[in-house]
Amino acid sequence: MSELGYSIPDSAAPFFQQQLREYRASARVAVPTVLDIGCSYGVNAALLRFGTSVAELAGSYAGTTDRDSALALDKGRAEVPGVDARFLGIDASRPALEYAAEAGLLDEVVHADLEAADPDEDQREVLARADLVISTGCIGYVTEKTLVRVATAHPRRRPWMAHFVLRMFDYGPVAAELAALGYRTEQVPGLHAQRRFASADEQAQVLKTLADKGIDTTGYEADGSLYATLHLSRPLPEHSADPEDNS
């Protein structure tokens, strides 16, 4: 992905850090738990833990020759104290999750497709620990089905959410379902580059989709990169996390 200038985790990290600061102050939780949807190998967790960048991560792997050498590098990073947070990940790729967990980038992982089915009890128990749910590009590929199942994993409280959503996807259906669960959603001003298009065909398809939605791509997708907007969904006070119950 670095060959395509993949950079949205860099843009997202300061916003996620701000959400963590606000959550700590609001919920009086010293070490919040972050759930990354579509976490893959744990890149978002790595950036938040170590204060690094996608480019620095990619560069550090240049000298690795196989999985074991990359794993040793990441384990060494994970031993250094970082941000005061725990990190969970959910993804459909078992190898990616296993790597992230073994490397110490993610504290717990859930291998599941919540588009297709409810989490089982063990998965639900992990998901219920989330205080802040994040993503950097998977919304649209996963829908409100996944978000609702994550939001309702705990029977009494709702996690905060911060999702970077590609402009070709509509967050409206997600926001509507979350509203029914007691959430209020706002779109943060600004656009954030995700990566360059992988091909002319991909760009043409995305430009058509955005044109059909009446979205002006001048200076953005038309210039060769995918762009996302940030949506924050927070539960209204009566649905907020209880600091005495973070199970």
pLDDT tens readout for residues 98-107: 999 999 999 9
pLDDT band, residue 79 (cuts 50/70/90): low
Domain 2-197+225-237, CATH class in plain words: alpha beta
Say which residue the tokens 């989709």 belong to: 209
pLDDT, greater one: 204 or 243: 204
Residues 181 and 229: beta-carbon distance below 8 Å: no
pLDDT tens readout for residues 200-209: 999 999 999 9
Polymer length of the chain: 247
Q: What's the pLDDT at 245?
A: 52
163 bridge partner residues: 135, 231
Say which residue the tokens 């790595």 belong to: 46
Residues 194 and 228: beta-carbon distance below 8 Å: yes
Per-residue pLDDT averaged across 105-119, rounded?
Answer: 96
Q: What's the pLDDT at 247?
A: 44
Q: Which pTM does this prediction carry? A: 0.92
Q: Is residue 82 scored above 70 in pLDDT?
A: no
pLDDT band, residue 66 (cuts 50/70/90): confident
235 bridge partner residues: 183
**What are the structure tokens assigned to 50, written together?**
């170590």
pLDDT, greater one: 177 or 76: 177
pLDDT band, residue 76 (cuts 50/70/90): confident
